[in-house]
């Protein structure tokens, strides 16, 4: 049995994983899909003081309170920043990092460094009445839809869970200065075929930080693959659960 911890991206909530969680649980695994501060059941906590560090603390606190170990930590989109800093805090508890169509940072980088188009969102928020709220991206004509979701019923369901993103989440830097984090194996899952203008994905280096070959998989769907292709995504995550960390550590030595 593995423990999956699924971390949603900007504007979303833990509800976005509702189609994936039962598929992983039915395979015998333990699954957590929390909403970060400012979203879902924590939407009332949204404020200008909420930032990347807040969301990292959310996840680290959950891991420690539940005494989770051998965690397959999955970060979607913006949450690539979150899981990176989480792994930096508690590397001994993380078995695998999965960057799901996610930002993949280096130490000290912000969302703007990883995805420069993010600066436009920050500038727009600065000009708005609040000065700190970044509203969800608008729905676009097919095939782009709302975060890659085009089915009308799914779009309505997704729209109902979205909240504004605080600017601070996009401005605080990632911490990746713990050497132990480099031992954790990584998998990258890319959603391909529907890529909005201005979004640039960094190439995945041929070798992981632990010295093993990079592993990158693709799903032919839009950004929110947990909604549009939950079965296919779950199958890939189940493959990840078979990749045990000790073998990688031995290889790294």
Q: Where are the domains of the chain?
A: 3-252
Band the pLDDT of 82: cuts 50, 70, 90: very high
What are the Cα distances from residue 172, in Å, to 7, 82, 152, 182, 232? 18, 11, 35, 21, 33
The token pair that represents 54 in the structure block: 């807040």
Residue 251 pLDDT more than 60? no
- pLDDT (average), residues 213-227: 97
Active site residues: 77
Beta strand pairing status for 133-134 and 94-100?
unpaired
CA quadruple 3, 241, 80, 136: dihedral, nearest 10: -70
Residue 144 pLDDT more than 60? yes
Res 244: pLDDT: 58
Cβ 7 vs Cβ 15: under 8 Å: no
Distant-in-sequence, close-in-space partners of 253: CB < 8 Å, separation ≥ 6: none
Band the pLDDT of 249: cuts 50, 70, 90: very low
Cβ 187 vs Cβ 240: under 8 Å: yes
Residue 119 pLDDT more than 90? yes
CATH class of 3-252: alpha beta
Rounded to whole angstroms, how far apart are CA atoms 243 and 213?
13
- pLDDT (average), residues 130-144: 93
What are the Cα distances from residue 214, in Å, to 4, 82, 185, 189? 21, 21, 9, 11
Residue 221 pLDDT more than 90? yes
DSSP one-letter string for 111-146: HHHH-TTHHHHHHHHHHSSSSSEEPPPPPBTTTTBB
Res 29: pLDDT: 97
Q: Is the peptide bond before 143 cis (omega within 30 degrees of 0)?
A: yes
Rounded to whole angstroms, how far apart are CA atoms 50 and 199?
25
Res 243: pLDDT: 78
Question: What does the angle CA 125 – CA 129 – CA 130 come to, to the nearest 5 degrees?
Answer: 65
Buried b (16+ CB within 10 A) or exposed e, 218-231: ebebbbbbbbbbbe
């Amino acid at each position: 049995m593995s423990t999956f911890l699924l971390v949603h991206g900007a504007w979303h909530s833990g509800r976005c994983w509702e189609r994936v969680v039962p598929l992983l649980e039915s395979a015998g695994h333990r699954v957590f899909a929390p909403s970060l501060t400012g979203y879902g059941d924590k939407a009332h906590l949204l404020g200008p003081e909420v930032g990347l560090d807040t969301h990292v603390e959310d996840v680290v606190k959950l891991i420690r309170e539940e005494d989770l170990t051998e965690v397959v930590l999955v970060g979607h989109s913006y949450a690539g920043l979150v899981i990176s800093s989480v792994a930096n805090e508690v590397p001994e508890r993380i078995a695998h990092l999965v960057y799901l169509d996610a930002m993949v940072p280096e130490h000290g980088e912000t969302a703007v460094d990883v995805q420069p188009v993010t600066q436009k969102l920050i500038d727009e928020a600065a000009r708005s009445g609040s000065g700190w709220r970044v509203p969800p991206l608008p729905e676009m004509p097919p095939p782009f839809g709302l975060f890659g979701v085009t089915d009308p019923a799914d779009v309505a369901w997704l729209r109902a869970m979205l909240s504004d993103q605080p600017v601070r989440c996009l401005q605080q830097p990632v911490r990746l200065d713990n050497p132990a984090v480099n031992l954790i194996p990584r998998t990258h899952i890319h959603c391909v075929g529907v890529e909005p203008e201005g979004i640039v994905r960094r190439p995945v280096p041929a070798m992981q930080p632990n010295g093993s070959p990079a592993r990158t998989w693709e799903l032919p769907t839009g950004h929110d693959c947990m909604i549009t292709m939950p079965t296919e995504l779950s199958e890939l995550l189940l493959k990840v659960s078979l990749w045990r960390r000790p073998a990688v550590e031995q290889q790294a030595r």
